[in-house]
A = this chain, B = another copy of it.
Amino acid sequence: MKVTFQIEGESPVIIECNAGDNLLELARRANVAIDAPCSGNGSCGKCRVKLVEGELESPRSRHITDEEYAQGWRLSCSSLVRSDCTVFVPDIASAYQSRMKTADLSSPQEVAIFEECQAQLKQSGIRFTNHFRAVTVCLEEPSLDNTMPDNERLSWALEEALDVEKVEIPFFVMAKLASTLREHRFQVCVKGEVRGDTFQCMEICGPEDTAIVGCAIDIGTTTVTMVLTDLVTGRLLAKGSSGNGQIRYGADVINRIIEQGKPGGRKKLQDAIIKETLNPIIATLCKTAGISARSILRLSVGANTTMNHLFVGVDAGPVRMEPYIPSFFRWDGLLAGDLKLPANPLAPVIIAPNIGSYVGGDITAGTLASGIWDKDEMSLFIDLGTNGEIVFGNRDFLVSCACSAGPAFEGGDISCGMRATDGAMEACTIDKDTMEPTLSIIGDEGQKCVGICGSGIIDLISELFRCGIINAKGLFVREGSRVKRDAHGMGRYVVAFPEDSETGREIALNEVDIDNFIRAKGAIFSAIDTLLSSVDMTVEMIDRVYVAGGIGSGINMKNAVNIGMFPDVELEKFHYIGNSSLTGAHAMVISDEANAKTLEVAANMTYLELSTYPGYMDSFVAACFLPHTDARLFPHSVQEA
């Protein structure tokens, strides 16, 4: 028996199978990317495929309308093969992968925020310098009177040029030393790092190629973002991003830890992030920047603890099992060659240190970028990703915690959710009387709606609540042409009717979506609340709130307060600082001092394990309400009468 996958825009893939095989499993075996953020338990409804020919045994699902079912649409995770089949895999299924554009650094505002953060770091006294060098030397040509071997000849010249006592020439440079010297008539550019009295040579090439480059990478559970930067000038050379290829093994870290624990799983997950995700971006960025990968002399990575483990191929199993022991917080001495990254094999890979199983290097790098470690005033740093992490403190102390907010902020767990890319509704207002929305869609003029991204969901729920269309529990309490109910009575608000949407399908937010989102925002707020309590502080004592994350540049802070997601402080205290993990990683790749400071910040940060903290669950339950069970906490939240 066999299944043919007709992948939108790609060559078909055929795989042998047996009757009763699960279609999603088959797709994974065949390396066909089908987006399944819930890891195949039927809850997210994103793994839709269309049966073209043959027979599948698929139960009905709330994610597939009757009409769609009649057209052949099925959820692959709950379909069993019953005959030779041909299924159509829509391109959206691989949207999380390499073809996806993401918001990170794609707009001038994002770049401006990124650069502003770097400037702030410099103001905090962090020098953006390192010990990498590209030095051009001209050697005396050998003769019968000067028969020094090539390596000594080069070492002598470098010792003089760089004022070092020792030069280390690695294997792969030695292997081409004779030919490179002779090809360029003994005038060559040598790249490497000065380490104390030693120069670690890392590359030799012709005198015209003097580029030395750093590569900073933010590995998010959902999205990967990367910049190449000149190690001498600090100039941004190229930037890019894509979905994390591991997404097909589950949307959250727990599902991925389970997957990596299966036979061959670690290799599979590592390949998904390195071979399938990072390597193509690095290749593209090198091309954009016009450099060879061998010129990348240092890399830095901001990633959560699980992503760090999966990235290096180390068992992440213990991370999720009591007593939650990762293999490492810090890792010194990792090299690009160890991971076969397309960079100089000797390039150090700096991993921003983790401080707990669920507060990772993305947060320590982000904390560095936020600058809160250098201030007298009390700051709250919130990183909204697939997990939410919170840091609070100032130059004297820092406490942190993590909460599992789920993928709702990135469009996951929401039936029409999507990331902040073309076609995403990223902001909206609703007319209280007509209940008609005014939408802001990412993309060119005339772009129709494809789905709703995180910032759009915040606005939408806030507006639905303000207009009294939903109540404090998130249930629909007004009726109208935009408010519809299904056969089970579940209400939804239609953002775009089928004829107005890009996909020809209705874009709506239903009560399950709202409930999912309320739990996500409840997790964030209760984490903040609990963290403050743990140090005997209250919301009033917060001087600044730094919000970071891939949720998009356009969070409407007023609306986020309105729904009880962020604490009700003056709006001018909020600062959006973009992808702070990337910003921090970027600082670390250029600056030895930023590196040292991040280690110091990590060493001084206390980790609060929320799951075992008394009172956290009560706080969470109380926060699963619009804006909160205790409305006095949100004096500025409005529900118009």
Contact across chains for B149 and A326 when beta carbons are under 8 A apart: yes
Q: Which residue of B lies closest to A345 (CB)?
A: B338
Contact across chains for A177 and B333 when beta carbons are under 8 A apart: no
Contact across chains for B327 and A150 when beta carbons are under 8 A apart: yes
Q: Which residue of B lies closest to A270 (CB)?
A: B175
Q: How many positions in chain A have a CB within 8 Å of any CB in the partner chain?
A: 46
Q: What residues of B have a CB within 8 angstroms of the CB of A333 in the complex? A: 168-171
Q: Which residue of B lies closest to A318 (CB)?
A: B178
Contact across chains for B179 and A144 when beta carbons are under 8 A apart: no
A237 at the interface (CB under 8 A from B): no
Q: A168's contact among B326, B332, B339, by CB below 8 Å, is which?
A: B332
A537 at the interface (CB under 8 A from B): no
Residues A143 and B323 in contact in the complex (CB < 8 Å), given A168-B333, A328-B150: yes
Q: Which residue of B lies closest to A323 (CB)?
A: B144
Q: A178's contact among B170, B317, B330, by CB below 8 Å, is which?
A: B317
Q: What residues of B have a CB within 8 angstroms of the CB of A312 in the complex? A: 171, 174-175
Contact across chains for B144 and A327 when beta carbons are under 8 A apart: no
Contact across chains for B143 and A331 when beta carbons are under 8 A apart: no
Q: A325's contact among B147, B326, B334, by CB below 8 Å, is which?
A: B147
Contact across chains for B171 and A328 when beta carbons are under 8 A apart: no
A206 at the interface (CB under 8 A from B): no
Q: A338's contact among B171, B322, B327, B329, by CB below 8 Å, is which?
A: B171
Q: What residues of B have a CB within 8 angstroms of the CB of A193 in the complex? A: none
Q: Which residue of B lies closest to A182 (CB)?
A: B318
Residues of A163-192 contacting chain B, CB below 8 A:
168-172, 174-175, 177-179, 182
Contact across chains for B150 and A313 when beta carbons are under 8 A apart: no
In Å, the complex CA distance between A322 and B329 comes to: 55
A151 at the interface (CB under 8 A from B): yes
Contact across chains for A328 and B151 when beta carbons are under 8 A apart: yes
Contact across chains for B143 and A328 when beta carbons are under 8 A apart: no
Q: Which residue of B lies closest to A142 (CB)?
A: B325
Q: What residues of B have a CB within 8 angstroms of the CB of A179 in the complex? A: 315
In Å, the complex CA distance between A178 and B310 comes to: 13
Q: What residues of B have a CB within 8 angstroms of the CB of A322 in the complex? A: 144
In Å, the complex CA distance between A329 and B335 comes to: 27
A152 at the interface (CB under 8 A from B): yes
Q: What residues of B have a CB within 8 angstroms of the CB of A497 in the complex? A: none
Q: What residues of B have a CB within 8 angstroms of the CB of A331 in the complex? A: 151, 174
Q: What residues of B have a CB within 8 angstroms of the CB of A168 in the complex? A: 332-333
Contact across chains for A325 and B149 when beta carbons are under 8 A apart: yes
Contact across chains for B175 and A328 when beta carbons are under 8 A apart: no
Residues of A102-150 contacting chain B, CB below 8 A:
142-144, 146-150
Contact across chains for B178 and A315 when beta carbons are under 8 A apart: yes
In Å, the complex CA distance between A169 and B147 comes to: 40
A324 at the interface (CB under 8 A from B): yes
Contact across chains for A329 and B147 when beta carbons are under 8 A apart: no
Residues of A473-518 contacting chain B, CB below 8 A:
none
Contact across chains for A328 and B142 when beta carbons are under 8 A apart: no
Contact across chains for A150 and B326 when beta carbons are under 8 A apart: yes
A314 at the interface (CB under 8 A from B): yes
Contact across chains for B170 and A327 when beta carbons are under 8 A apart: no
Q: A149's contact among B174, B177, B315, B328, by CB below 8 Å, is which?
A: B328
Q: What residues of B have a CB within 8 angstroms of the CB of A338 in the complex? A: 170-172
Q: A327's contact among B149, B172, B315, B335, by CB below 8 Å, is which?
A: B149
Contact across chains for B329 and A152 when beta carbons are under 8 A apart: yes
Q: How far is the CB of A303 from chain B (nearest CB, A)?
A: 15
Q: Which residue of B lies closest to A266 (CB)?
A: B175
A: residues with CB less than 8 A from B are 142-144, 146-152, 168-172, 174-175, 177-179, 182, 312-315, 317-318, 322-335, 338-339, 354, 356, 612
The 3 closest A-B CB pairs, nearest first, are A171-B338, A178-B315, A151-B328
Q: Could you show 22 A-B contacts with beta carbons less than 8 Å apart?
A: A143-B323, A144-B322, A144-B612, A147-B323, A147-B324, A147-B325, A147-B356, A149-B325, A151-B327, A151-B328, A171-B333, A171-B335, A171-B339, A174-B327, A174-B331, A175-B312, A175-B314, A177-B327, A178-B314, A178-B317, A178-B318, A179-B315
**Other CB < 8 Å A-B pairs besides A143-B323, A150-B328, 15 of them?**
A144-B322, A147-B356, A149-B325, A151-B329, A151-B330, A151-B331, A168-B333, A171-B334, A172-B338, A174-B312, A174-B314, A174-B327, A174-B331, A175-B313, A178-B314
